[in-house]
Chains A and B, each alone.
Chain A
Amino acid sequence: MKDKKRLVAGILIFGSLWGFSEVIIGSTLSDFGLPSGALMTGFFAMFFLLISRLTFRQSGMQLGMGLIAGTLRMFNPLMGCHICSAIAIMAEAMVFEIIWRYLSFDFEKHKNLTIQVSLGIFIVYSLYVSGYIITQILTPVVDGTGFYLGNLIAILPKILSNGLLPAFIGGAITPAIVILSKINLTIKDRIYYPTTLFTSAFCWIAVVGSWLMVG
């Protein structure tokens, strides 16, 4: 029961922080003309997904985080494609769950750097490409115009090509995330829950509040 409570709090805080970073940092990168999708998936999505999985070791947690982050992304007070990004975030979380189910690795036993880098490259490339493809399919469906396969086929080489940058980022940061996850940080319940709730509430109030003011 206590573990479940901690897990729910973990989903809430990691999902909120992921969504918050997508809204604030993602939109800012985009404004500067940088490849925000690639950078956000390579750095932030991978960081939040992997660190939470290595810390909590619970399947389903990352999907929950993706739902929270995606929902928060819908309230982006800054500009950009809200529905596309929300779908991509949720898809990335779902794909991470699927990949980890088959490729989960105990980094306590296996310290091989090649494996860690390779896993980072493969996971992030898969997240980026599948997130992009799924959003290309679902956005027109949700938006009501309908999906046209030709539209996807035409852009597929570009999607597969654009996946290289986040893949390299994923390969570079995965060993660092693995090291970070090994830090034994024990936080007492009386600090853990209030901190989790306060931080999550801050993320939501900041984003939704700004969205309401702009809207």
Chain B
Amino acid sequence: MSTGKEKIIPILAITVLLIGSFSTFYVHANKTVAEKDTITINNQKFTIQELFESVEVKTIGLDEGDISGLALDKLIIFSNVNCPSCHKYTIIAEDSYQKTVGWEDMKKGIITEFKRTYFEERAHAFWIYNVVEIEVI
């Protein structure tokens, strides 16, 4: 004899598989194709090379050792954001992963030539790979 649970469990499994499948389709359909060496900051597009020629490089200490890159606070000032400390900053990766940080964190953060952000004293969840945009909010 078939019980209620025996009927509902396959339905639940099919439901999550459908959710996963539709989400996979959505993710691929909406994938951002970023230009390889560019990054958008405050709605302006820059090449990584151009930024490395213009913005201060600094080294920060992480639990995985020291790492160098462009100082994020200087990058924001370079992109002509008015009153940088008045804003929050959302760092967005190619795969839509994003994290929002404040100005104090930007002062402790860097972005490397491989478009990876790192922050001193922040969880690795804030280490974002393949950054395509820094949005000022």
Contact = CB atoms under 8 A, between A and B. Distances in A.
Interface of A: 79-84, 103, 105, 110, 112, 114-115, 117-119, 121-122, 125-126, 135-136, 139-140, 142-143, 145-146, 148, 150-151, 154-155, 157-161, 163-164, 167, 171
A155 B26 CA distance: 12
A198 to B, nearest CB: 31
Interface of A is mostly: helix
Nearest to B3: A110
B95 A143 contact: no
A163 B20 contact: yes
**Range class of the B interface residue count:** 35 or more
A105 B98 CA distance: 39
Contact of B123 (A84, A151, A155, A167): A84
Interface in B83-136: 88, 90, 92, 95-102, 105, 122-127
A143 B127 CA distance: 13
B111 to A, nearest CB: 17
A167 B16 contact: yes
A164 B122 contact: no
Interface string B1-44: 00001100110111011011101101100100000000000000
A121 B13 contact: yes
B63 interface: yes
B9 A119 contact: yes
Contacts of A139: 123, 125
Contact of B5 (A105, A136, A158, A171): A105
B50 interface: no
Given A126-B16, A148-B100, A164-B21, A84 B9 contact: no
A57 B100 CA distance: 43
B66 interface: no
A82 B127 CA distance: 13
